[in-house]
Structure 1
Amino acid sequence: MSYNLEVRMEYPDQVNIAEVCPRDGFQSMMETIPTDEKVEIINRLMECNYPQIEVTSFVHPKAIPQLVDADEVMKKINRKPGVQLRALIPNLRGLERAAQAGVDKVKLMLSATDSHSLSNANAKTMEAMQAFDPLVKKADEYHIKVSGSISVAFGCPYEGEVSIERLVTICEKYRELGVRDLSLADTTGMGNPARVKMVIRKLREHFPDFKFSLHLHNTRGMAFANAVAGLEEGIRDFDSSVAGFGGCPYAPNASGNIASEDLIHGFEEMGVKTNVSLDRVLETARYLQSKYPKYADSFLLKAGRCSDLHLAPKGQTKLG
């Protein structure tokens, strides 16, 4: 019996992948990574042809001790033309440090729910947004691009499902600030393809002038399915972390981001180009795995690519 199945879903020719391991991947690690080692890893990532790398976060050292050397890391890395360097900032002081370090783009920290926001930023969501106005204005003076974020957008570990109305209200506040580049984060991997599709569809209907991106965690093994769901709803920009490093230090049991190599390989297998060198990403992933094996969580590191074929066994006895 033969099957003649025709796949009618049309996917885009290309997507954009932003690498976030140097910030999101490192921030929750217990071991202190030496500054020169961070620089080595970032320099390796620079050679992978990512269009954008989130290099660090300019937060208070007490908040994220791992990133205490953000300024020094920025001074030492080998910058590469065409690679946009992004950093997370919590306040005006963080923005000033980012500007002095020569960051191209800053990302604002925000949680969809008050519970997660209190844990993450010590303020409720709308209170945190009130502090964004001077940040955005100052960034404009520095000629630094600003993007926004909504953490726990697809589910909060403290409050559960986040309503569309809540997300729309937050997006409206961002619009008032003049911020239309917005990352939707599944911070604890509570999203599923149906939920992701519904949220993105509704938000794109309300805000057709926004550029939404997806920041997915693979806590429950749903990240790639959610990425495809986002792709089918028009998302063209995705965050990922090499070797699957990452996790939110302010959310219980939040395991790592979707592994860059898994996301790149999956899209390329579907005929969607990323223009990122999978070979070099895998080299970096193996390097990280050798240094910090307990944090590596990547399907490609375990199984290899679909094109990595094996010799068929000889003299095999057929069963049945």
Structure 2
Amino acid sequence: MTQPVPMTELWRGPLLESLHLGHAVICDDSGQIVHSWGDPNAVIYPRSSAKMIQGLPLITSGAAAKYGLNSEHLALACASHSGAHIHTDRVTAWLDHLNLSEHDLRCGPQEPQDMAARDGLILADDTPCQIHNNCSGKHCGFLTVAQHMGAGPEYLEIDHPVQQACLSAIEETTGETSPAYGIDGCSAPNFATSLVGLARSMAWFASAADRSDRASDAAQQLTAAMIKHPELVAGENRACTELMRAMEGRAAIKTGAEAVFIAIIPEKRMGVALKITDGTTRAAECAIASILVRLGVLEAENPATLKFMNAIQYSRRGLECGIIKPAPGFPG
């Protein structure tokens, strides 16, 4: 089947109010498809779900070791953070460590998703800066690699050594030649790949402990950092953070804009990639949770799971009014 399939439903009272279709793939450590829904060959932009791939050059280049980066730095390099103080304080310290400043970032300013941080800016009559950008950790990683390479400051240009290293990492781990790139919300190039290619890359990360090469060691470090610091990868009340906590180290997961989601499952040597075609985040969160439950690494009745899958919807007065749940037969 090459058409997207029903993955997530939103019911209000007795009626199906919204139906979200998508594609998803699970690959094993050989890169083969274990299961797929819809079109595994659908070409997508992975958006922020590929940040751990973009983080590989940070380690393989020797930059992380040279600058003494720890697991918190690596988690932030993979993060789409909420702009809370636990994120922005660490990004500021990272820039200081490089003898750089917010002005050296190229990600653009963004209002923090964290309410306390947002309210703090309002009370201080201040405005968001680039450090609040959810991708500022990734950009600190780019700057670290650029400084280590002695490359120029415009690290987002497509022919810059940093972006060429990211392209090589994408193509090597997906096993594909990227057919195109687009500009992400943070202004960085985002290299397209097929959904199966993305799942294959995540399975490569998941099986990294079976290999001894430098890139695989980097993949282990990045996966471990995400699992160790779920609060840095996203933030409180966010799906990535809450579901990783609920899985207690069994998997690393990462969202991407426009309803992309990946999972790295080391104990099963499997990788997962999915895309909801209408770009709705709530649908992708429900879909990835349902796949993780099916694979046995997430408990269906865990309170964190129930925030995103089989999630009761309430009115603003607290009246139960609907539910977000997997579509019948998905994931099977």
Provide TM-score, normalisation by structure 2. 0.27
Larger relative CO (CA 8 A, sep 6+): 1 or 2? 2
Provide TM-score, normalisation by structure 1. 0.28
Larger relative strand fraction: 2
